Amino acid sequence: MKLAIIGAGNVGGALGTAWAQKAGHDVVFGVRDPKAEKTQSLLRAIGAKARAATAADAAASADVIVLATPWPATEAAIRAMGDLKGKIVLDATNPLTRGPDGIGLEIGHAISGGEKVQGWAAGASVFKTLNTTGFGNMANPVFHGVKSVMFVAGDDAANKPKVMELVGQLGFEMVDAGPLRNARLLEAHGMLWIDLALARGQGRDFAFGILRR
């Protein structure tokens, strides 16, 4: 599969590395400066399955576009890609704000970043996923042989199985979390992971799982 990953930082780098090396996908990082040394260094580390381009070039030939940009840059990054009609877009961003009381959601809880992304990416099929755990866990989602959980929220029922399979190739146990409006739940869940990791002493080496009877 041809994957465009917009942003080549912590999340983009971890996802691109895993998808190229574990699953053999062709990865194009959509970045502002494809020649930047940090991007070139990432490409060397991944090998022949990865390259870098502008976001628009990366998106043009991609089967799936993954958003791994800081929230404040996300609208501009989407607009830079032009017409995304018919494209599958995975939104891994979290619309975070930080204040004296800790982290919060910049846009509140009555809308989600995922739904905002759908508004900016007109005609695309947007799925919220990969926002509820740290980038280290995206590289290595398995804990003592048990898969940590990853949720997918999106309205496009026809393409959801394909998205679940793609994200599952990273090593997660996949759970369908319902329609895109449930990105509101997933973004709050993402905040819980961040708060526990960074403010409650859990560190980054933990993840959520699903127990069943």
76/199 with CB nearer ligand NAP: 76
77/164 with CB nearer ligand NAP: 77
Residue nearest ligand NAP by beta-carbon distance: 9
> What is the phi/psi pair of residue 49, to 5°?
-80, 0
Rounded to whole angstroms, the Cα distance separating 57 from 40 reads 17
Applying CB under 6 A, the residues found at the interface with ligand NAP are 6-12, 30-33, 55, 68-71, 73, 76-77, 92-94, 96, 131, 134-135
Helix axes 113-120, 183-199, angle to 10 degrees: 130
135/169 with CB nearer ligand NAP: 135
Residue at token pair 């699903």 = 210
Q: How far is the CB of 183 from ligand NAP (least distance, A)?
A: 12
Question: Within 134-182, where are the H helices?
Answer: 135-139, 160-168
32/147 with CB nearer ligand NAP: 32
88/130 with CB nearer ligand NAP: 130
Distances from the Cα of 148 to the Cα of 65, 72, 205, angstroms:
23, 28, 11
Strand 149-154 to 102-105 pairing: unpaired
Q: Is the dihedral of CA 207, 184, 31, 165 positive or negative?
A: positive
Q: How far is the CB of 193 from ligand NAP (least distance, A)?
A: 8
